[in-house]
Amino acid sequence: MFPLRPALVFPICLSAACVCFIGCAVNPVTGDDEFMLIGEKEDKKIGRRYAPEIEKYMGGKLKDQALQEYINNVGQKVARASHRPHSGYEFAALNDSSVNAFALPGGYIYITRGMLEKLDSEAQLAGILAHETTHVVARHTAAAMSRQIGMFLLLAGAATAGTGGDEMAAAHVTAQIVDLRYTRADEQEADISGLNYVVRAGYNPYGMVEVMQMLQAENKDHPVEFFSTHPIPENRILYMTARIQTVFDNADQLRVGQDDYRKNVLDRLPQESQ
């Protein structure tokens, strides 16, 4: 038996570990058994590894702590209404002008300053955060990373975090994470389950429809970053509206929160965007 060179030991061990993670897991959103390359513990490791890189890549977190607490509080209400309320989530606003929101495995969910500027109610904010929460709960983000980046590369980066690993490689993976593309099926699942989450959290679900209307109007004038990574399912506004009308007969009685959103977000953003 030939001795292994030290440089080869880590990749081979990691490959063996990856094999151990392969198996079926139940998607809590659909109840279906789905093939998964890694376990949820690895989701946490990947999210924890790349969250700081994402924050740096996207201009850092907005410095207004009160604004951040407001965003996180709304997100936590939605998370508590999800299929996995105790998984641990972190919601934060990034100082980036793109109109976007995205999630990392393990519950790291971000919304950009550019997106916040386009919203006008707490219900709309809850809708965006609920959509991204579903991507985490259903593990759409982990699956997209596996397809588009590769679990070996992600786990290698997570394993070498803080050990002087290749910073250029981490930056390359970070750029790919921001540009992750979901399938149309993932998007529809995130829309429908997101509606359920916002209603359970006490928010008017029409906020989600309003966000889609806003994004589609913006997209006509110039490409919106959100749609570059979240494809537009056909009849998106129609099927969400139909579900609200047939399932949520108390929608108009639920929270909208325009004044609170203006006070806690819109009135605070100008000083952050300078």
Burial of 145 (0-12, 13-18, 19+ CB in 10 A): buried
Using alpha carbons, select from 175, 52, 70 the residue that is nearest to residue 119.
Answer: 70
- Tell me the one-letter amino acid at 219: N
* Maximum Cα interatomic distance, the chain, rounded to a whole number of Å: 72
pLDDT confidence of residue 14: 40
pLDDT confidence of residue 3: 36
Using alpha carbons, select from 129, 119, 149, 142 the residue that is nearest to residue 258.
Answer: 119
Run of H or E including 92: strand 90-94
CB atoms within 10 A of CB 91: 26
Query: Cα(164)–Cα(139) distance, rounded to whole angstroms?
Result: 29
Query: Cα(105)–Cα(9) distance, rounded to whole angstroms?
Result: 27
Using alpha carbons, select from 167, 169, 136 the residue that is nearest to residue 154.
Answer: 169
pLDDT confidence of residue 262: 98
Q: Which residues of 188-209 are buried (b: 16+ CB within 10 A; e: fewer)?
A: bbbbbbbbbbbbebebbbbbbb
Q: Which residues of 72-90 are buried (b: 16+ CB within 10 A; e: fewer)?
A: bebbbbbbebbbbeebebb
pLDDT confidence of residue 140: 76
pLDDT confidence of residue 41: 75
Cα 182 versus chain centre, distance: 11
Residue 33: φ, ψ to 5°: -75, 130
pLDDT confidence of residue 167: 65
Query: Cα(51)–Cα(158) distance, rounded to whole angstroms?
Result: 11
Alpha helices in 149-256, H assignment, sequence order: 151-159, 167-178, 184-200, 206-221, 225-229, 236-247
Query: Cα(77)–Cα(49) distance, rounded to whole angstroms?
Result: 25
CB contact at 8 A, 264 and 70: yes
CA distances from 111 to 61, 149, 188, 189, 233 (A): 10, 22, 20, 20, 21
pTM over 0.85: no
CA angle 147, 151, 155 (to 5 degrees): 155
pLDDT in tens, the chain (274 residues): 333 333 333 333 343 344 344 455 555 565 554 445 566 777 888 888 889 989 999 999 999 999 999 999 999 999 999 999 988 999 999 999 999 999 988 899 999 999 999 999 999 999 999 999 999 998 877 777 777 766 656 665 555 555 455 665 667 777 777 778 888 888 999 999 999 999 999 999 999 999 999 998 998 888 888 888 787 766 889 999 999 999 999 999 999 999 999 999 999 996 544 4
